[in-house]
Structure 1
Amino acid sequence: MSAVTQDAPTSPQLHAVLTHRRLPRWAPFGIAVGAVALGAAIGLGAGLTSHVQWGLIALVLFVIGTYAITARVEGRRQARDRVATSLVWACFVVAVIPLYSLVETTIADGLKVLNTDFLTHSMGGIIPTEAGGGVYHAIIGTLEQVGLASVIAVPIGMLTAIYLVEYGRGKLAQVVTFFVDVMTGIPSIVSGLFILSFWIIILGFGYSGFAGSLALAILMVPVVVRSTEEMLKLVPNELRESALALGVPKWRTILRVVLPTSIGGILTGVMLAVARIAGETAPVLLLVFGNQLINNNPFSGAQSSLPFYVFEQYSLGNQYAYDRAWAAALVLIAFVMILNLVARGIARWKAPKTTGR
């Protein structure tokens, strides 16, 4: 013991660790602030008007500054470690920049005509090359078409996922999994053509919002199946075994234990599927056919939708139409965001309650 005690303070490795200089915890934040300020200064000096370009310059300066300062204070090995961490954060920021640019552009251009009149009026009686008109008929169409598609796809997708996770064995489960994988890669135009040939040409039904909902449901089902399947797999088997050991039937175990445990992830997957179909235009072009007037009946007559309205207005090629298209795109983004917030609230409300000491 005495030998160890005498040797410990004089150990070169321990001495290096204890006396090695380290950057303070706020150093990355300070380097980031300096990089942003220097990037903005370079951008202004070079005459760059895009904030995205400023941000990219700041990211490069942040990585270079992190390595240089860390290498001088802590050494090259620690500098490489910090640079790797900085690159991870830089990749995250680079991924967020296009989203920020899209949202910023949509808000800036969409707010020009977005008001109460725009949300409560249709395009009936409005000359396309003049100001005015609204998106009310497209909002109704989107709500009805996405709602009907969700009513069709969510139960089918959830039941399929429950079968694959809880009951699926043998060739049937393999076949179902194969077709779900195939459906995941189906282009929206293909689902629209399928419903067009089957529902309208063969069965003789007319263009309607419901026809568009059928095509959207085809696109929604595989997303719901895959997301629900992964969430059900995350439920610990101990919960299932505990319920079965108490004599609870398997169907009741799934209904009262498995699904409530994974409800948050399932709802998130459903919202991803809704967000995916809410912006689809090709099935609407083929099946819903578009309408300038308000049509509250999705089972009869042509309807409009927000994606179709954006495409229609942009195709007109004048500034008033462009402004209406940007405003409709902003309404569509707000629609998806509100759905996600509602789903998160429901998931938190329905999630199993945990009690702490």
Structure 2
Amino acid sequence: MTITTTDTAVSPAAADPLKLTRRTMPDWITWALGAAAVGLGVLVKAVQGNWALGAFYAGLFFIATVTAASWRLEDRRRAKDRFATSIVYTAFVLAIVPLVSILGYTIKKGFEELSPYFLSHSMRGVGPRDDTGGIYHAIVGTLEQVGLAALIAVPLGLLTAIYLVEYGRGRLARSITFFVDVMTGIPSIVAGLFVYSFWIMTLGFEASGFAGSLALMILMLPTVVRATEEMLKLVPNELREASLALGIPKWRTILKVVLPTAMGGIITGVMLAVARVIGETAPLLLLVGLTQSINTNPFSGWQSSIPLYVFEQNHAGNQFSGDRAWAGALTLIIIVMVLNLVARLIARWKAPKAGR
């Protein structure tokens, strides 16, 4: 005779399903309090006429009410979590609202003037009372100047970052890191003055688009170095060790393993550097000059750019110059967005694929 004994363990949650159940605040309460905070901000703006004051009161109201509701409906631990989360959300909204408002206002003011004619004509021969003229000469100048700056800064930045991460040890590496940190905080006008004193006053070259590219290169270089350096540090050492264990030289490991793995982040860093310098005006005023004609040769003669075009039209003071300035600013935003989109596509295309 066989006797079978079965022991079934009963968990505390199964014995008492309500014991581990906690109250949770419904999501609609958070959304309702957020809508109420926005309404309060609008009301304060209507009464006081100050958007900043309205945003401050709206954020304070949202944080206080969400925390109080969580304290009442949930528990102390979740109330603290809701308090920290609401601060993060409020900070994000307060940071994004000015950006969205500037972008929206620029689109509103510049879209009317933006047209194929505006993008394909220069300002040569356009008088103060004429509603014609365009930005083509400035687009050519900006693309050439930023392109030349990137052509110089990107290889130098890549090589510097590779040296610092893969080879750099000792005093030389520390010195390079120090100078890169110093260059990160250089004002743009200082870079322009340096190029002006060395390239134009000392060596005797004339103002040109290339002179402006040298100043933009100085501003781009530390961003490229820092971004590339951080991306290379994120590449797992196991990949390097596996490649070296197969007998592959270190330079080939860097070229075929490390750089392709970090390529997406490197391209993003390069685009951040381009976005950093494409709107610079101060160094170009010293080094490029103001012209209303098309100049496709960046090494000879004055050459306009979009920031200079916006500056010039904003200070022209005639009936149509203000609309041209807003349209120029919108054109610059569109160019930056297109360049970032192209960079994203290239990074996705060049990213390592599984199974290769």
Partners of 1:298 and 1:226 in 2: CA distance = 28
Partners of 1:225 and 1:323 in 2: CA distance = 38
In structure 1, the partner of 2:325 is 325
CA contact (8 A) 1:126 1:133 kept: yes
In structure 2, the partner of 1:341 is 341
In structure 2, the partner of 1:287 is 287
Partners of 2:53 and 2:335 in 1: CA distance = 30
Partners of 1:46 and 1:75 in 2: CA distance = 37
Partners of 1:45 and 1:83 in 2: CA distance = 28
Partners of 1:44 and 1:190 in 2: CA distance = 40
Which range moved further: 236-245 or 108-117?
A: 108-117
CA contact (8 A) 2:13 2:19 kept: no
1:316 aligns to what SS in structure 2? Answer: coil
Partners of 2:274 and 2:43 in 1: CA distance = 42
Partners of 1:49 and 1:107 in 2: CA distance = 23
In structure 2, the partner of 1:209 is 209
For structure 1, list consecutive stretches of 5 or more residues without a partner in the other structure.
none
Partners of 1:295 and 1:196 in 2: CA distance = 21
Deviations 1:168-202 (A, max 9, x none): 11111111111111111111111111211221122
Which range moved further: 99-108 or 134-143?
A: 99-108
Superposed displacement of residue 85, structure 1: 0.7
Aligned: 1:29 with 2:28: no
Superposed displacement of residue 10, structure 1: 10
The 3 A distance-change label for structure 1 pair 55 and 186 is closer
In structure 2, the partner of 1:163 is 163
Describe how 1:26-175 pairs up with structure 2 within 5 A: 26-36=28-38, 38-39=39-40, 42=43, 46=47, 58-175=58-175
Aligned: 1:313 with 2:313: yes
2:297 aligns to what SS in structure 1? Answer: coil
The 3 A distance-change label for structure 1 pair 115 and 343 is same
Structure with the bigger percentage of helix: 1
The 3 A distance-change label for structure 1 pair 255 and 320 is same
Partners of 1:113 and 1:172 in 2: CA distance = 53
Partners of 2:267 and 2:104 in 1: CA distance = 28
Deviations 1:294-332 (A, max 9, x none): 111111110000011111111122342111111101111
CA contact (8 A) 2:45 2:53 kept: no
Superposed displacement of residue 68, structure 1: 3.0
Q: TM-score of the superposition, structure 2-length normalised?
A: 0.90
CA contact (8 A) 2:13 2:20 kept: no
Superposed displacement of residue 48, structure 1: 5.6
CA contact (8 A) 2:145 2:298 kept: yes
Aligned: 1:197 with 2:197: yes
CA contact (8 A) 1:267 1:347 kept: yes
The 3 A distance-change label for structure 1 pair 337 and 241 is same
Deviations 1:228-260 (A, max 9, x none): 001000101110000000000000000000000
Partners of 2:247 and 2:194 in 1: CA distance = 46
Counterpart residue type for residue 120 of structure 1:
S
Describe how 1:229-268 pairs up with structure 2 within 5 A: 229-268=229-268
Superposed displacement of residue 33, structure 1: 3.9
Q: TM-score of the superposition, structure 1-length normalised?
A: 0.89
CA contact (8 A) 1:129 1:321 kept: no
The 3 A distance-change label for structure 1 pair 71 and 294 is same
Counterpart residue type for residue 32 of structure 1:
G
Deviations 1:84-133 (A, max 9, x none): 21111110111111111110111111113111111111111111354221
Partners of 1:329 and 1:161 in 2: CA distance = 33
CA contact (8 A) 2:146 2:274 kept: yes
Deviations 1:206-233 (A, max 9, x none): 1110111111111111110111001000
1:346 aligns to what SS in structure 2? Answer: helix
The 3 A distance-change label for structure 1 pair 41 and 295 is closer
